[in-house]
Amino acid sequence: MGNIVQINGPIVTVRLQGVHNGEQVRVGRLGLVGEVISLDGNQAQVQVYESTESLSPGESAQALGHPLSVELGPGLLGQIFDGVQRPLKAIRLQSGDQIARGLELPALDREQVWQFEPASALDIGTHVGGGTIIGTVQETETVVHRILVPPAQSGELLEHAPAGDYTVDQVIARIRNSIGHVHKLKLFHRWPVRRPRPYRARDHAAVPLMTGQRILDTFFPLLKGGTGAVPGPFGAGKTIVQQQIARWANADIVLYVGCGERGNELVEVLESFPKLTDPHSGRSLMERTLLVANTSNMPVVAREASIYVGVTIAEYYRDQGYDVVMVADSTSRWAEALREVAGRLGQMPVEEGYPAYLASRLSAFYERAGSVQTLAGNRGSVSLIGAVSPPGGDFSEPVTSHTKEMVRTFWALTKELADARHYPAVGWNDSFSGYVETAAKWWAEHVDPAWAQRRAEALALLAEADELARIVNLVGPEALSPAQRWVLEGAGLLKEAVLQQSALDKVDSYASPRKQFILLDLALKIYHEGKDILELEVPVDHIAQLPLLAKMRRIKSVYSSDQTEELRKLDQEIHETFDRIRIEYAGVKEQTA
């Protein structure tokens, strides 16, 4: 037992003997919990996860003997947790609409009964290593929860519970380790959040993560096990992009970490996901989703922890052999929490007040993504996608620039596109993906061999149009040749018919890889055909005003991903339209000749 010496916002200095760095400490009459972040003689500085108001010097402090850990077991999915994995729905039942301080609730419901099915291949007496699957529980209709031997444990299986109903607290196996200690295994185990969970080996990510968003999948793809960032000024649509990924990604498990963002955004996920169906499994989206919520008005220290709580849960499902996507909105708020704590500790600021270890913490976080061979020998992956909120939309600020160095896919949102309500406002100039070549193999095999070529054509067209637009702004459109003006029109068509995608439109919200490819292919076909007939001296305006183009712009929200046949029918209309014009103008030419 020790006592409190000083309280400075969320940082409490305690006099406490023998406490470890990183250990959990309970302080004061209210029993607020925090974590030791520095030691100095017999004093320790503790960052407290809840508001320290009304705490006074002299109150007690008690070391809890373990670092910040999460409970991992069935019952996580469909839940909403706070930044230190307290179940928010249960908290509401206990303390009402506002979160009271000092509440202690287990993350997993101790009452709920799960139907456990032991792994049949395991005989008594066999040696089980960490990560071995000792049985399964049907967690939701779509997700089978594989019960793992905790990674740090192994030994001879002494007892294996028969199939039946168990709560998470009941013992389902006993193992004796190499020095003769017997451990009880339950449906859940604990794991410290700041330590990455072990795996057997990393492998090369090779399968694209499909999000159903054209600008992401087709232009700047991400792989399962990859890292991505979505930076953008406020109002550019970061949250919608993140939510769209959480909705439509072809992952088994989705973690949505609301880190220092708006309460209403999480409510939107909570209210809308149960009603939405997963296009891949046909079941409610909430069955594969879980939320970690530390909204902007919740205590700042728990915000710092929330990212680690999220990624540890993600790794746990990876270890069961699943593809997991974690979206973190927003890593800038996490970095700010880091800055606030560093500032209170009087650490030397380097850039914009951020501590010197910002970059290393960020990179350590993104390194927890990856496609791996699990301890049990399965394949699993964690893809990490972090939103970044650069102050003033300035991408050169520390969090954005460090993130940019770390991630392989960068979806840069721009204010110009957002102001014109071009959504998703992912700019094609500043965005990049280091996974294009790998993704191209997948697209060639599963969708169309021409994918890489079409993608390159489209990007080249957009770049050329941007260049020409600069010229127009200097000297006016008269300076452009008809071919150049058609480039502008073609790029415009590409933007409206392919790049823009409405999250609110039921049909357009999700596009399958095939639909994505067909739309791109059709738009480029119109561009090429138009370019071709310009030689017959058809006026650009004439082509630009063809009803065919208007139809192309709207077709994305007319036919869904299941109606690719109908989409393909536009091919013929394109040919007919341009052939008609060819005949018409060829005639004119002959007459004048």
Partner 1 sequence: MKEKEYRMATAARGALLFMQGIPGVPLGDRVVVRDHRGRKRNGQVILTSDETVLVQVFEGTDDLDLERTWVRFLEEPFTLPLSPDMLGRVFNGVGQPKDGRPPIISALKRNVNGAPVNPSARSYPREFIQTGISTIDGLNSLVRGQKLPIFSGSGLPHNRLAAQIVRQAKLLGEAANFVVVFAAMGVSHTDARFFEEDFESSGVLGNVVMFINLADDPPMERLILPRTALTAAEYLAFDLDRHVLAVVTDMTHYAEALREVATAKGDVPARKGYPGYLYSDLAEIYERAGRIHDRHGSITMVPVLSMPSDDITHPIPDLTGYITEGQIVLSRELHNQGAYPPVTVPPSLSRLMKDGIGKDDTREDHPRVASQLYASYARALEARNLASIIGAEELSERDRLYLAFADAFEKRFVTQGEQEDRSIVETLDLAWELLSLLPPETLGRVTEADLKKYHNWEVVSAERANWYGRTSEDSADEEHPADPQAAGRVS
Cβ proximity of 254 and 382 under 8 Å: no
**Nearest distance from C-beta of residue 497 to partner 1, angstroms:** 8
Instruction: Give the residue with the Cβ less far from partner 1, 121 or 474.
Output: 474
Cα atoms found within 13 Å of the Cα of residue 431, Cβ hemisphere only: 28
Cα–Cα distance, 131 to 409 (Å, whole number): 30
Q: What is the CA radius of gyration of the chain?
A: 28
Of the candidates 330, 306, 327, 326, the residue with the CA atom closest to the CA atom of residue 318: 326
Which of 31, 158, 573, 582 lies at the binding interface for partner 1 (CB under 8 A)?
Answer: 573
Q: Find the binding residues for partner 1 in span 240-279 (CB under 8 A).
A: 258, 260, 262-264, 266-268, 270-271
Q: Which of residues 75-134 bind partner 1 (CB under 8 A)?
A: 80, 88-89, 91-92, 95-101
Token digits for 291?
């939320």
Upstream peptide bond of 449 is cis (omega within 30 degrees of 0): no
Closer Cβ to partner 1, 436 or 507, answer by number: 507
Looking only at residues 130 through 149 of this chain, which bind partner 1 when binding is defined by CB under 8 A? none
In DSSP terms, 43 is beta-bridged to 15, 40
Q: Of 96 and 282, which has the nearer Cβ to partner 1? A: 96
Residue 160: which residues within 8 A CB-CB, separation 6 or more?
Answer: 118, 122, 124, 134, 172, 173
Task: Please report how close the Cβ of residue 239 comes to partner 1 at its closest, in angstroms.
Answer: 8
- Least Å distance between CB 187 and partner 1? 24
User: Which residues 325-354 are close enough to bind partner 1 by CB under 8 A?
Assistant: 333, 336-337, 339-340, 342-343, 349, 352-353
Query: Where does this chain touch partner 1 (CB under 8 A) — which range of 222-230, 406-414, 420-428, 509-517?
Result: 420-428
Q: At closest approach, how far in Å is the CB of 119 from partner 1?
A: 35
Q: Which of residues 490-549 bind partner 1 (CB under 8 A)?
A: 496, 504, 541-542, 545-547, 549
Residues 354-383 that bind partner 1 (CB under 8 A): none
Of residues 296-315, those binding partner 1 (CB under 8 A): 296-300
We find the least distance from the C-beta atom of residue 304 to partner 1, in angstroms, to be 12
- Among the candidate windows 162-170, 386-394, 460-468, 525-533, which touches partner 1 by CB under 8 A? 386-394
- Residue 222 vs 255, nearer CB to partner 1: 255
Is there binding between residue 569 and partner 1 (CB under 8 A)?
yes
Candidate list 475, 583, 586, 588; residue touching partner 1; CB under 8 A: 475
- Position of tokens 């339950």? 186
Q: What Å distances lie between residue 459 and 106, 218, 256, 490, 569, CA to CA?
A: 51, 11, 31, 12, 25
Question: Which residue, 36 or 298, is less far from partner 1 as judged by CB?
Answer: 298
Say whether the peptide bond before residue 332 is cis (omega within 30 degrees of 0).
no
* Residue 458 to residue 463: CA distance in whole angstroms: 9
Distance CA 207, CA 53 (A): 50
User: Which of 64/546 has CB closer to partner 1?
Assistant: 546
Three-state secondary structure of 410-477:
ECCECHHHHHCCCCCCECCCCCEECCHHHHHHHHHHHCCCCHHHHHHHHHHHHHHHHHHHHHHHHHCH
Q: How far apart are CA 120 and CA 124, in angstroms?
A: 11
Binding test (CB under 8 A) with partner 1, winner from 14, 37, 55, 498? 55
Binding of residue 554 to partner 1 (CB under 8 A): yes
Assess 579 for contact with partner 1 (CB under 8 A).
no
| Site membership for partner 1, residue 8 (CB under 8 A) | yes
Please state whether beta strands 208-209 and 222-223 pair in parallel, antiparallel, or not at all (unpaired): antiparallel
Distance CA 319, CA 197 (A): 8
Determine, following the binding rule CB under 8 A, whether residue 6 of this chain makes contact with partner 1: yes
- Shortest distance in whole angstroms from residue 411 CB to partner 1: 18
Q: How many residues bind partner 1 (CB under 8 A)?
A: 91
Sequence-distant (≥ 6) Cβ neighbours of residue 578 within 8 angstroms:
529, 530, 532, 533
Q: Is 419 in the site for partner 1 (CB under 8 A)?
A: yes
